[in-house]
Amino acid sequence: MTTFGLTGAAGFLGWHTRAHLRATGIEPKLAHRETVGDAATLRRFVSDVDVVLHVAGVNRGSDSEVYEGNVELADNLAAALAASDEPRAVVFANSTKAGDDSAYGRSKERAGQILADTQATLGGRFVDVRLPHLFGEHGKPFYNSGVTTFAYQLANGQEPQIDVDSELELFHAQDAAALLIRSADVGSDPPQPKGRRILVSEALALLRRLSAPYLTNGVIPEMVDAFEVRMFNMFRSHLFPNHVPIKLTPHRDGRGEFVETVRSEGKGQVAVSTTAAGETRGEHFHFNKIERFVVISGDATVRIRRLLDDHIHQYFVSGDDPVAIDMPTLHAHNISNSGSRDLITMFWANELFEPDNPDTIREPV
């Protein structure tokens, strides 16, 4: 099996790349900031892998900090590659801004050239993947991207502001991760990532439309394509865990109790399950699927853990006080019957289940 090394593992794209590898059962060797800054440690890192996914980069700071930071990362990696006993493949997460007249663009162009020259000398495979503007779950607001900042602001009751209404080419971080990993294969086609072209104002308008019904009363907005689903999931990532659970209103009369669990402006699927005392369901995560749990009868414990993290969020729920728990994407989750009688739970998903593409990856909480 191919062994992967990943620089920039703690960053936005690094996290998504680790998540994508996790779904295929691969745990990469990680190079954090202290690794790439120490020559001996970096040489050991390179010697232990077949493919280096070079995701680390500097995109904030003064012009000199940005330029020197990206070039230094490439120089350090090139030196470690040259000291290795045999050639390694290198996949470089470059940018479509490489070569433009900014410190960032010049530095990414130079970094790519350093790595390309080194690999040509050593006889190693080099793939320069020029990625557009990335978006996705768990981006850092006011740092990774403008749309991430908009999503964070809308989730926290703030009013977004547009400085320049330029055109963006938005590309999801999971697509970028898949492209980087696939590019490591010998004989793979040259990567040509294509994102969604959209004005900044259009992206903000879309996020407003998607967020408004959800923030008001938990209504799932209509989403016409996968891009809108991913924009909504990015927005939802900034709501968790503070927006969980969502309070529901039970209606009681002589016949019993009625609880409206899901209102959706689009399509969806609802299922009801019974779970015996002491049993657990779930133990998986989703890349794109939006899923809601509602306990109808009985008592349960719901556990949610962000992928590649150790912290577990735990919720004790009961059919006597109905609430909704929406599962964030890229979080492992389960539900356990913590009572003495059968647990009745309703599940809703925004898409119909497809056995050939279930978007359900096993991952114990």
Q: What is the DSSP letter of 355?
A: T
pLDDT of residue 266: 73
* Confidence (pTM): 0.91
Nearest in space to 345 (alpha carbons), one of 278, 270, 252: 270
pLDDT at residue 134 is higher than 90: yes
Instruction: Give the containing element (helix H, strand E) for 325.
Output: strand 323-327
Q: How would residue 36 be classed by pLDDT, with cut points 50, 70 and 90?
A: confident
State how far the Cα of 292 lies from the Cα of 248, in Å rounded to an integer: 13
pLDDT digits (tens, 9 = 90+) for 65-123: 999 999 999 999 999 999 998 999 999 999 999 999 999 999 999 999 999 999 999 99
pLDDT of residue 79: 97
Biggest alpha carbon–alpha carbon distance for the chain: 82
In this structure, are strands 133-135 and 167-172 parallel, antiparallel, or unpaired?
A: parallel
Q: What percent of the chain has pLDDT over 70?
A: 99
Contact 77, 36 (CB under 8 A): yes
Q: Looking up tokens 């002491």, which residue turns up?
A: 278
pLDDT at residue 259 is higher than 90: no
Contact 186, 228 (CB under 8 A): no
pLDDT at residue 185 is higher than 90: no
Mean pLDDT on 334-360: 93
In order of their start, the domains of the chain are 4-206 (3.40.50.720), 246-362 (2.60.120.10)
pLDDT of residue 110: 98
Q: Is the bond leading into 160 cis (omega within 30 degrees of zero)?
A: no
